[in-house]
Copies of this chain bind each other. A is one copy, B any other.
Amino acid sequence: MIHTIGFDADDTLWHNESIFDRAQQRYRALLAKYHPAAEVDRVLFQTEMRNLPLYGYGVRGFMLSTVETAIELTGGAISAGEIREIIALGQEMLAHPVELLPGVAEIVPALARDYRLLLITKGDLHHQERKIAASGLAPHFHAIEILSEKDGPAYSRLLRRHGVAIEEFVMVGNSVKSDIVPVLELGGAGVHVPYHITWQHELGVEVPPNQPRFRKVDRLTELPLLLPGL
């Protein structure tokens, strides 16, 4: 019997990966005279992964990796003016307004009447807090938890802190790797709501077969009918 719903934020409640995607398109265009798009993407992702232990998740680390990659890919030939443009791309991402996904503005307040809602997200503390404030959704959540990583131990600590039994908990999100599998492994329920773009880092993890507490839906508005069966 579900009592508490954990919601991921980026690409579950509001658009995020599409903002990265548009910035990366403009980044590729800036470097097009040096390298084909696929090579730019490959080296950027490599740089991001190399820097992840140092930077963690979020736009500022992405920005630093785009600058570093541009210098590397051009053998130092890129101009300071072009680097300034790359920084401006990231600053636009940080200043981008929060755009809720379809149905979110209705379904979150509706579910808050019957369930305890937790917002569980990872990334930059400062940027996530600004997005949560701008979303207008904060009053519907019992608590907001911004984590540096969303894995089994992190979910365990969080649920213990809020006194939530794992049997009564469902996590809802777009990332199989960060939102679904760690919670299913703990014995909780998971509802996967795919976003049309997934960051390469979040790919490559599958839901194991025969998971009675797992559902996949196209949109969040399917939640109310589905929750009593979890």
Q: Give chain A's interface residues, CB within 8 Å of chain B.
A: 51, 54-58, 60-61, 63-64, 67-68, 70-71, 74, 76-81, 83-84, 87, 90-91, 94-95, 124-127, 129, 146-148
Assembled-state Cα–Cα distance A66/B124 (Å): 19
Nearest-neighbor residue (CB-CB) of A122 within chain B:
B125
> Given the complex, which residues of B lie within 8 Å of A58, measured CB to CB?
60
> Given the complex, which residues of B lie within 8 Å of A74, measured CB to CB?
80
Assess whether B56 is in contact with A124, with CB atoms less than 8 Å apart: yes
Pick from B54, B60, B95: contact of A61, CB under 8 Å: B60
Pick from B64, B80, B91, B124: contact of A71, CB under 8 Å: B80
- Report if A76-B67 is in contact (Cβ < 8 Å); known contacts: A60-B60, A124-B125, A126-B56: no
26 residue pairs of the A-B complex, CB under 8 angstroms, read: A51-B91, A54-B91, A55-B94, A56-B124, A56-B125, A57-B126, A60-B61, A63-B64, A64-B64, A64-B87, A64-B90, A68-B84, A68-B87, A71-B81, A71-B83, A74-B80, A76-B79, A76-B80, A76-B81, A77-B80, A78-B80, A83-B83, A124-B124, A125-B125, A125-B148, A126-B148
